[in-house]
Structure 1
Amino acid sequence: MSDTKTAPVGDSRNEGNASSEWPLWEVFVRPRAGLDHKHCGSLHAADAAMAVQLAREVYTRRQEGTSVWVVQSSHIHASDPGDKAMLFDPMEDKVYRHPTFYVLPDAVDHM
């Protein structure tokens, strides 16, 4: 058995040493069946199983969730806010995508 000990994650002795830090995971919780998962925070964990366990303990302590998703942050790819015009503005000139030209029957009053 080795006498070498490593400092736990979050210990000041590990600051600045990225190789010793666990990966960052994003946590999504579904509050009730039928609702969407909502991003509720991030945490560091060694693997996916540990991330799910820690997410359950940290974000659903009061049993407010029915499902937990964890995604390693390095696997998330997002658009650049500077590309907003290129990605989203072309949709505004397509008026046929908006339901303003349709008359809904009275039976469909929830739309």
Structure 2
Amino acid sequence: MNIKITKFYYGDIPDDNAGGNELQSAKAPTAGNWPLWEVFVRSKQGLDHKHVGSLHATDAQMAIENARDVYTRRQEGISIWVAESKYITASNPEQSGELYEPAIDKVYRHPTFYNLPEEVNHM
């Protein structure tokens, strides 16, 4: 009699009720190739979400749960966003000159273009 014992980790069991999303592939990630997720937290005092770090998780639900445990240990957040890193597109800092060049000829956007009265403070 041969008995095979298999050790499963969170997210390894392909189950429709496991809490993942519909877009998740049929092949569950193994511990060595979990995707990287970027984590954004909205604080109780803020109106915007701030990037607080990254973590690895098998799906969005696991990423939110891990982000809660890692980045809001002191209950400082009221909302968490996670985004899989492969879906984030960023500009190249080395090409910032070409990217922002069209704004150079729009001097009316700079506050130095306007003369402010002496009564206006802290602007």
Question: What TM-score does the superposition give when structure 2 sets the normalisation length?
Answer: 0.66
Greater C-alpha radius of gyration:
2
> Match for 1:55 among 52, 59, 67?
67
State the secondary structure of the residue aligned to 1:83: helix
Give the C-alpha shift of residue 91 in structure 1: 1.1
Q: Does 1:26 align with 2:28?
A: no
Q: Does 1:64 align with 2:64?
A: no
> Match for 1:40 among 34, 49, 52?
52
Q: Percent identity?
A: 62
Structure with greater proportional helix content: 1
Question: What TM-score does the superposition give when structure 1 sets the normalisation length?
Answer: 0.72
CA distance in structure 1 between the partners assigned to 2:59 and 2:77 by the alignment: 21
Q: RMSD value over aligned CA atoms?
A: 2.7
The one-character-per-residue Cα deviations of 1:49-98 (angstroms, maximum 9, x if unpaired) are: 11111101110010011110000001001111121111113212210112
State the secondary structure of the residue aligned to 1:77: coil
- Residue 81 of structure 1 corresponds to which residue in structure 2? 93
CA distance in structure 2 between the partners assigned to 1:7 and 1:46 by the alignment: 10
In structure 2, relative to structure 1, the CA distance for the partners of 1:84 and 1:4 (3 Å cut) is same
Q: Which runs of 4+ in 1 moved over 6 A?
A: none
In structure 2, relative to structure 1, the CA distance for the partners of 1:68 and 1:95 (3 Å cut) is same
In the comparison of the two structures, how many residue pairs are matched? 101
